Structure 1
Amino acid sequence: MGLINTEAIVLRTYKLAEADKIVVCLTRQTGVVRGVARGARRLKSKFGASLEPFTLIALVYYEKEGRELVSLQQVEILRSYFSLAQSTEIVHAMEYLSELVLEFTPPQEPNDKLFRMVRACAEALAEVPEALPALVRYFEVWTLRLAGFLPNSRGCAGCSRRFEDGENVYLSGDNGLRCRACAGGTGIALAGEAYAQLRAIQKVGPVEFSRAVRSVRVAVWQELAQVTQVLIARALEREPRGQATFT
């Protein structure tokens, strides 16, 4: 309790009263935090443009025992992604990715791997914005993996045989990936090229990944989405609100 200093990524903001905002952040030290930024909507607010979505900030907040909302005291911009806001498609993507973080992350439960993944994806999107479809899939896969909902993609859940490069695999109703023989004509098919990208996502960082997949067909990301988004919906027992935009 008391004053907390931490690196944070702004996920969402909401209007509060006439001049304030509720700010939802993913912090490195304390996980997802919701707080009040007093006067943030005033023209000459001390917060300025620091509370825009996906802005990387140095945050100082005050936490009082028994209070759900913390009080934001100081904010310093470490990295701004304001230029991304010029694209409506990217803005919608960032809203969807924020939703995934909030759905899969319990409040005030630190997760350094998740924080670093979100930060790195924002960097990749700023550097290679044309890789948006690939980066959305990257984010979905790693969110599922860090939350424990991504099936083993190395081998068949039925016979335990290791999948070969370029092999078609199938997502079964129990969320396992199976070979053609074990799937028995059921499940959601993932063709060899899409399966290869599922494996590649888990081996490299998002910046390197986004540079490497510039020539990959959009249809590949759409096919991979059929698997990632089914896994997300099964884990949450519903579809996220922003999911339909990025199939």
Structure 2
Amino acid sequence: MQYRLQGIIIRSMDHGEGNKIVTIFTREYGKMSVVARGAKKVKSRFGSAVQLFTLGDFSFFKSGQSGLGSMSLAEIVEAFHPLREDLHLAAYASYLAELTDKMFGDQEGHPYLYEQLKGSFQALQQGKDIQIIVHMYEMKMLMQAGYMPELNQCVVCGSQAEAVALSVGLGGILCERCKLRDPQAIPLTPGALKLLRVLGQADVKRLGSIDVKAPTKELLKLVLRTYFDTHVGLRMKSRDFIDQMERYGI
């Protein structure tokens, strides 16, 4: 079957002497893996159109549901050069791309998340708050995968009283009366809880200037990282690299 689709390159690996296998995240069909023959050669007809993070129009032939497609045409729509040229942007864009790649199977269409990934790359390129962008996308991935924590009522008693902690193990917030049900629950500030709720619902394409205090960012990071590790359990090279950058103050 011949496809002509717009998509984002979320993974690229060498294949043989001159070829690349790229994974394209498309709006209609989700992930699709395609061989770009000769892509590593200097005079390749695909050139920079198959570089990581590139948004492009791609034509390829793919037989059946499994196996690799064979690319015939690639045209750049948005190159996202800054995401490859800046170390920090490259690290976080790689994390979003790897998260997308590992959370979904092949040919599972996710139009909303496709738009959110594209919007996240655009927001990173525009210099908006990196950590907020990342947390917005993480929340949406949790929601799509069915792991979204309960943030509107106590996960134990159902009360809508003010939450004071989030239980990763129980999967949601706890009120004052129920907080002792999980000694490992993470204490929450009202501001952090409000942000968690907003980040899950907000459209990254509408993200404006936002000023979040450093302690609140650290709390959000702790909550989401612990939640991902407990319920999703993905090991990602890009996150390990980000941790190394932070450890050595890069």
What is the TM-score of this pair, normalised by structure 2?
Answer: 0.89
Q: What is the CA–CA distance in structure 1 between the aligned matches of 2:12 and 2:68, rounded to whole Å?
A: 13
Aligned with 2:189 (options 188, 191, 197):
191
Q: What is the CA–CA distance in structure 2 between the aligned matches of 1:57 and 1:48, rounded to whole Å?
A: 12
Q: Does the 8 A contact of 2:155 with 2:171 survive in 1?
A: no
Corresponding residue SS for 1:201: helix
Name the residue aligned to 1:217.
213
**Distance of aligned partners of 1:4 and 1:83 in 2 relative to their CA distance in 1, 3 Å threshold:** same
Corresponding residue SS for 2:12: strand
1:115-145 C-alpha deviation (Å, 9 max, x unpaired): 1111111121122x24111111111111111
Name the residue aligned to 1:118.
117
In structure 1, runs of 5+ residues without a counterpart are: none
1:176-209 C-alpha deviation (Å, 9 max, x unpaired): 2222321216212232222111112133211433
Q: What is the CA–CA distance in structure 2 between the aligned matches of 1:192 and 1:212, rounded to whole Å?
A: 21
Q: CA RMSD in A?
A: 1.9
Deviation at 1:216, TM superposition (A): 1.1
Deviation at 1:66, TM superposition (A): 6.8
Q: What is the CA–CA distance in structure 2 between the aligned matches of 1:143 and 1:67, rounded to whole Å?
A: 24
**Distance of aligned partners of 1:30 and 1:121 in 2 relative to their CA distance in 1, 3 Å threshold:** same
**Distance of aligned partners of 1:12 and 1:125 in 2 relative to their CA distance in 1, 3 Å threshold:** same
Q: How many residues align?
A: 241
Q: What is the CA–CA distance in structure 1 between the aligned matches of 2:43 and 2:234, rounded to whole Å?
A: 41
Name the residue aligned to 1:135.
133
In structure 2, runs of 5+ residues without a counterpart are: none
Identity fraction in percent? 23
Aligned with 2:158 (options 157, 160, 168):
160
Name the residue aligned to 1:3.
2
Name the residue aligned to 2:80.
81
Deviation at 1:162, TM superposition (A): 2.2
